[in-house]
């Protein structure tokens, strides 16, 4: 596991999982939201985003946290491991609510009010995005793919990984 992507519905906990994985593996972590969004809630140009993404992909090791469907095929080609946090809508909505009003290392601003358009995107994520994610992952040959359907699965994996890494020391 050297080049990892973490995907899933907003609010699923991708960033939290990515931080835990980075801490265990010492892989550098990159939040795609931080290279896409500016602190004033505008976005970088497609060219600026792609340039930053391409620079990250040149590294020998990384964890990339974020979906960004347009770039998913190229990131899938480059990675060796995928984690998909495929959680129920209620879990994701609760995750979004828990972050409101709090600073985050994975987002360049503090979200203070519910964003109705974003909430609608999240509510439709399973219907609109999951089929494409499934299709891309089915085509991803030679990749280690982990699909978590619950926090328990996620925590069990991280616990097992921590034990394996301790045994290597």
For CA atoms 103, 107, 113, 118, the dihedral sign is negative
What are the start-end ranges of the H helices in the chain?
14-25, 32-36, 46-57, 72-78, 89-99, 116-123, 125-128, 130-139, 151-168
**What does the pLDDT read at residue 11?**
96
From CA 29, how far away is CA 23, in angstroms rounded? 9
Confidence of residue 169 (pLDDT cuts 50, 70, 90): confident
CA-based radius of gyration for the chain:
16
Confidence of residue 98 (pLDDT cuts 50, 70, 90): very high
**What does the pLDDT read at residue 31?**
98
Q: Give residue 73's Cα distance to chain centre.
A: 14
Percent of the chain with pLDDT over 90: 98
Interval 146-157 mean pLDDT: 97
Residue 62 makes CB contacts below 8 A (sequence gap 6+) with: 2, 3, 4, 27, 28, 29, 30, 56
Interval 119-130 mean pLDDT: 97
Query: Residue holding tokens 């792609």?
Result: 50
**What does the pLDDT read at residue 91?**
97
Domains identified in the chain and CATH numbers: 3-164 (3.40.50.300)
Percent of the chain with pLDDT over 70: 100
Interval 50-61 mean pLDDT: 98
Beta pairing class for 62-65 and 144-148: unpaired
pLDDT in tens, 11-24: 999 999 999 999 99
- Mean model confidence pLDDT for the chain: 96
């Amino acid at each position: 596991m050297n080049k990892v992507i973490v995907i899933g519905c907003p609010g699923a906990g991708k960033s939290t999982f990515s931080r835990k994985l980075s801490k265990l593996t010492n892989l550098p972590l990159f939040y795609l939201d931080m290279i896409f969004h500016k602190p004033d809630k505008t976005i970088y140009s497609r060219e600026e985003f792609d340039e930053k993404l391409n620079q990250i992909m040149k590294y020998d090791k990384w964890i990339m946290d974020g979906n960004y469907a347009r770039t998913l095929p190229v990131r899938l080609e480059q990675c060796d491991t995928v984690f998909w946090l495929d959680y129920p809508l209620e879990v994701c909505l609760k995750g979004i609510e828990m972050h409101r009003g709090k600073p985050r290392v994975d987002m360049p601003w503090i979200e203070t009010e519910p964003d109705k358009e974003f909430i609608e995107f999240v509510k439709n994520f399973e219907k609109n995005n999951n089929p494409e994610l499934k299709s891309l992952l089915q085509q991803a040959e030679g990749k280690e793919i982990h699909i978590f359907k619950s926090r328990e699965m996620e925590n069990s994996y991280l616990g097992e990984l921590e034990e394996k890494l301790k045994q290597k020391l």
